Structure 1
Amino acid sequence: MPKKPKEPKQETHKAVKPDAEEKAEKPKKAKAAEKIGIEKAEKTEKKPSKSSKGSVQPEVNIGLVGHVDHGKTTLTERLSGKWTDTHSEELKRGITIRLGYADAVFRKCTKCKGTDAYTTKEKCPKCGSQAEFVRKVSFVDAPGHESLMATMLSGAMIMDGALLLVAANESCPQPQTREHLMALDIVGVKKVIVVQNKIDLVGKEQALKNYNEIKKFLSETPYKDAPIIPISAQHSINIDLLIETIEEYIPTPKRDETKKAMMLIARSFDINKPGSDPTKMVGGVLGGAIIQGKLSVGEEIELRPGRKIEKENKMFYEPVFTKITGIKTGGEDVNEAKPGGSIGVLTRLDPSIVKSDTLVGNVVGHKGNLPMIWDKLTLETHLLKRVVGAKRDLDVDPIKVGEILMLNVNSAATVGVVSALAKDSFKCNLKLAVCADAGAKVAISRRVANRFRLIGYGTIKA
């Protein structure tokens, strides 16, 4: 059931002392870390790019998904120039653990023809001519490891299209190839391009065999007509063809800026260095994407469900209120952000409550204009016939009372304990509350062989 949140009498969790608030809003204090496309700010105020340089904010979010070690992060680097595995554990293990973000500018040479004209360079690498701006995009690099499916699903909620990477030197489909494609279908991502990577590691015969495996796999899914582009991310082979295909197949969606603002938080972090002078610290940063409406610097905002509070031995959620002190997108400061690519919102929030993705799953909007907070859900269910992503072919058994399920709602991942069953629906109590509209789609996973596996989806009933 939806819970009416309590509203604090004044702004909560300010990041700085009153005498330092003026300083915190200056651009020279907005030293955003190189996460979700936020580059370090200059000490002098930046002005948005001129129209000749193209749009400052990326127009579209494109996910990179697929089985572990199939080249998602390498391809992201080839397209954007940024290596998204920067977390210490990611560097040590060589796999993506958190969502990675990077922006890229697609350009087109005015002299070269066809595929050869597409590049991410300001000057055409083939003829040296100046390349014209086409579009700026954000890439969301999702983890491919089976234990990180909740993170992948959270990222999928903000994707407008996706690149499904398939390694040519392995059989297709691998478990998470199948699971990720099903996840894209469940959350409503319609535009998918299959990228047959690592063609440099196989001969022509193996490449064709793998291509036919991909075609057969896709024929059993809603993506049977998806383009298949052979590349080598490692050697930058066919990157121009991939850019051309993205431009033709994944258009910028129509956005509604007149609706009430709603931003999904996919990352949150503290950008202050250890040992910083408390009077010079800046507030926490919220990273994610606006799905409707728009947000501006100086506006008061609300985060729901907010923070879990305990009073008189009772637990409840209290929305968090703060002010936007800066917005960064495409590596630049802007006064306003609209639906489209990833952005970073600088706030007055205490850095300690946003660090290490603590606020991931929250929804941001203007005060009093966000959906309800739910700590219990009734879901109308649509279960799959087979468990997706498991190494063995398993049927999906009916949901049982007392069963623990993983639920992905917007960018939030929570656990629900089933409390009651009905025909094609069930009720559950949530471990972590969520903010969502009635009718919102929820991905449902159950524990199979010590891993949560996708078994279907539900819609929230009021």
Structure 2
Amino acid sequence: MSKAKGLREQDLATLDPAKLTPLSPEVISRQATINIGTIGHVAHGKSTVVKAITGVQTCPTCERPSCYRTYSSSKEDSPACEFCGGPMDLIRHVSFVDCPGHDILMATMLNGAAVMDGALLLIAANESCPQPQTSEHLAAVEIMRLKDIIILQNKIDLVTEATAQNQHEAIQKFIQGTIADGAPVVPISAQLKYNVDVVAEYIVKKIPVPVRDFVSPPQMIVIRSFDVNKPGSEVDELKGGVAGGSILQGVLRMGQEVEVRPGIITKDAEGRVRCLPIYSRIVGLFTESNALQYAVPGGLIGVGLTVDPTLTRADRLVGQVLGEVGRLPEVFSELEINFFLLRRLLGVRSKEGEKQSKVTKLSKGEVLMLNIGSMCTGARVLAVKHDLAKLQLTTPVCTKEGEKVALSRRVEKHWRLIGWGQIQKGLKMDLPPRPED
């Protein structure tokens, strides 16, 4: 495989995970080490802002904020500055998780939030604040323990200065007492790329690179999976399935044997759910256009596997966990959680258009939707006592005690966020032993 111009070499023979950091040249040169989500209401400019920001470099000799420039992941490490001609330093390599703002895609947004290290909250300057999904997305990232948020007051070119100032005050009132209280508010035009250099500076200075665990057994949560083969391909040209996601801990290596849990989920003749973990080998590691010899926690990674591509087609592996054989968390069919409910539904206006609907208590027998990591599954409430609930899962989940759970309830034909919980314990499933090769 050819390597992109100017990227640092990776050598499996000399790899020592204990000596790596997210800013090691052979890491940051090739892959993103931080995931930043773009969140907010539909059509407020999330995708446009991602288009405007595709990496972060800085020129030490230029004045701020014009010393910050953004490029794609395949850019060489030290391009010449377009202003002074001096060499630029690579200081951040970012993956963007672009979350849908439409209310019916809330579950997809929660799956994306599972891998975020920080977030850009988009608020359109030409609409009142907050819009329904602005509130709902902010509550979701609060549940996911996301602290580092930058607010982008987008479409500033479409309003007068007085309107922008009034909305700025409305934004400050909206975020008061939330996880975003005190977050910077940057006026931008994503379409015109106005103030993109300021956003780049805030990403570098306000969203720290998280502490990463490079030495534990590798685990990656899958948020995409697909079949890269074109229809009509010859048998000898077929490639194995691809899983995409973010590594939570450890280092994945080319040629490594891996396991995917829960794997293939079936029901036996009596209707009991069975899980058959998938065993495979890594034959490709990549991020955007950069090929990797090894991948570390942080940005979004593509993993080429030897598995039958029908197993990965159309996101079939989303929500599963990939990692070292025999070292993955347990698979649960029932969970016991302690939970906290929101007082009112977010993102829903009552018929009068005034107050939002009150969240009622959980009731035995009702069906909820759970988001655990990148897994989205239905759950029937078996029992409720005070702030504890026992839940029977529609689909088994690979997870562990202490993990956060987002709870949603069906309201007027849409799943709505109603609260969150933490896993206390659960009913573990017996998995069959690995078959002999």
Q: What does 1:229-378 correspond to in 2, within 5 Å? A: 229-314=186-271, 315-378=273-336
RCO comparison, higher one (Cα < 8 Å, 6+): 1
Measured against aligned partners, the alpha-carbon deviations of 1:150-201 in whole angstroms (never above 9, x if no partner) come to: 0000000000000000000000010100000000010111101001100011
Measured against aligned partners, the alpha-carbon deviations of 1:341-380 in whole angstroms (never above 9, x if no partner) come to: 1110000111111011111000111111111111111111
Query: Pick from 379, 403, 420: which aligns with 1:457?
Result: 420
Q: Supply the AA of the counterpart residue of 1:367.
A: V
- Aligned-pair CA distance for 1:46: 9.7
Q: In the superposition, relative to structure 1, how do residues 47 and 430 fare at CA in structure 2: closer, same or farther (>3 Å)? A: farther
| Counterpart secondary structure, 1:387 | coil
Residues in 2 aligned to 1:281 and 1:331: alpha-carbon distance in whole angstroms:
20
Q: Supply the AA of the counterpart residue of 1:49.
A: R
Of 279-288 and 54-63, the range deviating more from structure 2:
54-63
| Counterpart secondary structure, 2:93 | strand
Q: Supply the AA of the counterpart residue of 1:61.
A: N
- Aligned-pair CA distance for 1:220: 3.2
Name the counterpart of 1:24.
none
| Counterpart secondary structure, 1:395 | coil
Residues in 1 aligned to 2:345 and 2:299: alpha-carbon distance in whole angstroms:
32
* Structure 2 runs not aligned, ≥5 long: 10-24, 72-78, 351-355, 426-437
Name the counterpart of 1:413.
376
* Structure 1 runs not aligned, ≥5 long: 1-26, 28-41, 81-103
Q: In the superposition, relative to structure 1, how do residues 287 and 208 fare at CA in structure 2: closer, same or farther (>3 Å)? A: same
Residues in 2 aligned to 1:424 and 1:164: alpha-carbon distance in whole angstroms:
31
Q: In the superposition, relative to structure 1, how do residues 452 and 52 fare at CA in structure 2: closer, same or farther (>3 Å)? A: closer
Q: In the superposition, relative to structure 1, how do residues 202 and 123 fare at CA in structure 2: closer, same or farther (>3 Å)? A: farther
Residues in 2 aligned to 1:45 and 1:275: alpha-carbon distance in whole angstroms:
31
CA contact (8 A) 1:53 1:133 kept: no
Residues in 1 aligned to 2:4 and 2:149: alpha-carbon distance in whole angstroms:
39
Name the counterpart of 2:340.
382
Name the counterpart of 2:41.
67
Determine whether 1:153 maps to 2:103: no
Q: What does 1:211-222 correspond to in 2, within 5 Å? A: 211-222=168-179
Name the counterpart of 1:49.
8
Sequence identity (%): 43
| Counterpart secondary structure, 2:66 | helix
| Counterpart secondary structure, 1:208 | helix
Q: Supply the AA of the counterpart residue of 2:64.
A: G
Of 439-448 and 314-323, the range deviating more from structure 2:
314-323
| Counterpart secondary structure, 1:116 | coil
Name the counterpart of 2:399.
436
Determine whether 1:172 maps to 2:129: yes
Q: What does 1:69-108 correspond to in 2, within 5 Å? A: 69-80=43-54, 104=55, 106-108=56-58
In the alignment of these two chains, the number of paired residues is 397
Determine whether 1:194 maps to 2:151: yes
Determine whether 1:133 maps to 2:133: no
CA contact (8 A) 2:261 2:322 kept: yes
- Aligned-pair CA distance for 1:287: 0.4
RMSD: 1.8
Measured against aligned partners, the alpha-carbon deviations of 1:248-270 in whole angstroms (never above 9, x if no partner) come to: 00011111112221101000001
- Aligned-pair CA distance for 1:330: 4.5
CA contact (8 A) 1:55 1:135 kept: no
